[in-house]
C-alpha cells in the first residue's frame, strides 16, 4: 500500500460483545470435533489449575472430540497421562502438520498463542491443514487497546507475559488473518478475573488490587457499549476457500 492518507489510517470498530471467554469457547466447541493449539499454557499450568481456568479442561466436557497440540513436550506428555489426546507439534512447520495426518477439525482454537509466535505468517498458514472447508478458526489474544496497560504505564509499568513478542488490535489482527486466507466472521472481547494471592508481598497485592479495579472498569465500560477497552480479543474466522455464508 502506498500514499495512504490520514483518513485511511482511521478504522471504525465493528460491533462486538463483551463475553466470558471460557463460556463462549465452551459453547462454540459443543458437539464438534476440535483441535486446540497451544493448549498447555506453559509456565502457568499450576495457576490455571488452582483457579479452574484451564481452557482445555473446560472444552473437554463440551466438545465431541478434542485434540491438543503444543510445542511443550512435557506438557503434552502430562496431558496424555491424564487421558487427553495430545501431540507435540509446531504448527509453523507445514510439512510436520501434514505428516501428523490428523483429520481436519470443525473448529481450531488458537487461544493465547499468536502473541508468543515470532513467525505468525507461517503459523496461520499451517493452521489451514487442521480446519475442514466448512470449519472455523478461533484466535484469542491480548488486546493492545486494553485499558489495563494504559493505566499501568502511568505508574511506569507494563503488564505482559514474559514470553510475548507482539500485541494486536482488532485492525492488525484481522488484517494479518486476511493476508493468510482467513476471513473474519465474528469479533468479541473479554476481561479476565484477577486473583490476588494474599500470601504475596504487600506491593504485589496492591498491584493486584489495582489491576482488579481496572478490569472491573473494563467490564463496566464493555457493558455500556465500549468493548474495545477490554483486556482480550476473540476473533472467529473461516478459511477463504470455504463457505462464507
pLDDT at 211 over 50: yes
pLDDT at 50 over 90: no
Of 195 and 94, the structure prediction assigns the larger pLDDT to: 94
Measured between alpha carbons, how far is 71 from 207 in angstroms, rounded to an integer? Answer: 32
Measured between alpha carbons, how far is 112 from 38 in angstroms, rounded to an integer? Answer: 8
Task: Describe the crossing of helices 147-154 and 202-223 by its angle, rounded to 10 degrees.
Answer: 140
Give me the percent of the chain exceeding a pLDDT of 70: 85
C-alpha cell at 141: 489474544
Burial-class residue 198 by CB neighbours within 10 Å (0-12, 13-18, 19+). Answer: exposed
Contact 57, 25 (CB under 8 A): no
Predicted local distance difference test score (pLDDT) of residue 212: 80
- The CATH number of the structural domain formed by 11-239 is 3.40.50.150
Burial-class residue 205 by CB neighbours within 10 Å (0-12, 13-18, 19+). Answer: middle
* 151-178 tens-digit pLDDT: 888 888 888 888 899 999 999 999 999 9
Instruction: Tell me which residue has cell 467490564.
Output: 219
Evaluate if pTM is beyond 0.85.
Answer: yes
What's the average model confidence in pLDDT over 5-17?
84
Predicted local distance difference test score (pLDDT) of residue 243: 44
C-alpha cell at 81: 497421562
Predicted local distance difference test score (pLDDT) of residue 52: 62
Closest CA to 182 of 122, 236, 234, 143: 236
Least confident of 36-45, 137-146, 227-236: 36-45
- Sequence-separated (6 or more) residues with CB below 8 Å from residue 29: 59, 62, 63, 66, 107, 109
Instruction: Tell me which residue has cell 479452574.
Output: 52
Beta-carbon count within 10 A of 31 CB: 10
pLDDT at 229 over 90: yes
pLDDT at 65 over 90: yes
Measured between alpha carbons, how far is 242 from 4 in angstroms, rounded to an integer? Answer: 31
* 90-111 tens-digit pLDDT: 999 999 999 999 999 999 999 9
Give me the percent of the chain exceeding a pLDDT of 90: 69
pLDDT at 141 over 50: yes
Report domain extents, the chain.
11-239
pLDDT band at 41 (very low <50, low <70, confident <90, very high): confident
Amino acid at each position: 500500500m502506498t500514499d495512504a492518507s490520514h483518513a485511511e489510517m482511521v478504522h471504525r470498530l465493528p460491533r462486538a460483545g463483551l463475553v466470558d471467554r471460557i463460556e463462549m469457547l465452551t459453547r462454540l466447541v459443543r458437539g464438534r470435533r476440535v483441535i486446540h493449539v497451544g493448549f498447555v499454557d506453559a509456565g502457568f499450568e499450576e495457576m490455571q489449575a488452582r483457579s479452574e481456568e484451564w481452557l482445555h479442561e473446560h472444552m473437554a466436557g463440551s466438545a465431541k472430540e478434542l485434540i491438543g497440540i503444543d510445542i511443550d513436550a512435557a506438557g503434552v506428555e502430562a496431558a496424555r497421562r491424564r487421558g487427553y489426546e495430545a501431540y507435540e507439534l509446531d504448527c509453523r512447520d507445514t510439512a510436520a502438520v501434514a505428516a501428523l495426518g490428523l483429520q481436519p477439525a470443525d473448529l481450531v482454537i488458537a487461544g493465547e498463542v499468536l502473541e508468543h509466535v515470532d513467525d505468525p505468517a507461517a503459523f496461520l498458514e499451517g493452521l489451514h491443514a487442521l480446519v475442514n472447508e466448512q470449519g472455523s478458526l478461533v484466535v484469542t489474544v491480548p488486546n493492545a487497546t486494553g485499558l489495563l496497560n494504559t493505566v499501568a504505564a502511568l505508574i511506569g509499568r507494563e503488564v505482559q507475559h514474559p514470553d510475548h513478542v507482539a500485541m494486536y488490535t482488532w485492525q492488525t489482527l484481522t488484517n494479518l488473518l486476511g493476508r493468510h486466507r482467513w476471513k473474519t466472521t465474528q469479533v468479541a472481547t473479554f476481561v479476565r478475573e484477577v486473583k490476588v494471592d494474599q500470601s504475596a508481598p504487600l506491593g504485589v497485592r496492591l498491584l493486584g488490587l489495582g489491576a482488579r479495579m481496572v478490569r472491573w472498569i473494563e467490564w463496566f465500560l464493555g457493558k455500556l457499549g465500549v468493548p474495545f477497552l477490554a483486556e482480550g480479543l476473540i476473533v472467529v474466522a473461516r478459511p477463504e476457500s470455504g463457505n462464507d455464508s
